[in-house]
């Protein structure tokens, strides 16, 4: 799965306003995209559903993520 595909999945899980410009690896989850804890749970759920990874088994790593690139790294390691 490419970085672009993962970015599109993340964009689908966050508020339309934040994702309107698109999501890229260098973006900050909280600063650029306005991701809060509830939105992060949505991202984790959607990533697990669309990629087949055990996302909730890696939730601690997702919580520590600060950027989209960090999320991509967790997905790739799963």
- Residue 17, pLDDT above cutoff 70: no
Q: Which of 69, 22, 17 minimizes the C-alpha distance to 39?
A: 17
Contact 7, 25 (CB under 8 A): yes
Q: With bands split at pLDDT 50, 70 and 90, how would you rate the model's confidence at 70?
A: very high
Q: What is the pLDDT of residue 29?
A: 95
pTM of the entire structure?
0.90
pLDDT in tens, 25-43: 999 999 999 999 999 999 9
Structure letter (DSSP) for residue 28: B
- Higher per-residue confidence, 21 vs 4: 4
Helix%, strand%, coil% for the chain, nearest 5: 65, 5, 35
């Amino acid at each position: 799965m490419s970085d672009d595909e993962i970015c599109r999945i993340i964009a689908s899980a966050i508020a339309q306003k934040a994702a309107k410009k698109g999501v890229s690896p260098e973006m900050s989850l909280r600063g650029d995209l306005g991701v809060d804890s509830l939105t992060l749970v949505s991202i984790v759920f959607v990533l697990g559903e669309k990629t087949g990874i055990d996302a909730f088994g890696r939730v601690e790593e997702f919580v520590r993520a600060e950027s989209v690139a960090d999320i991509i790294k967790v997905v790739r390691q799963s």
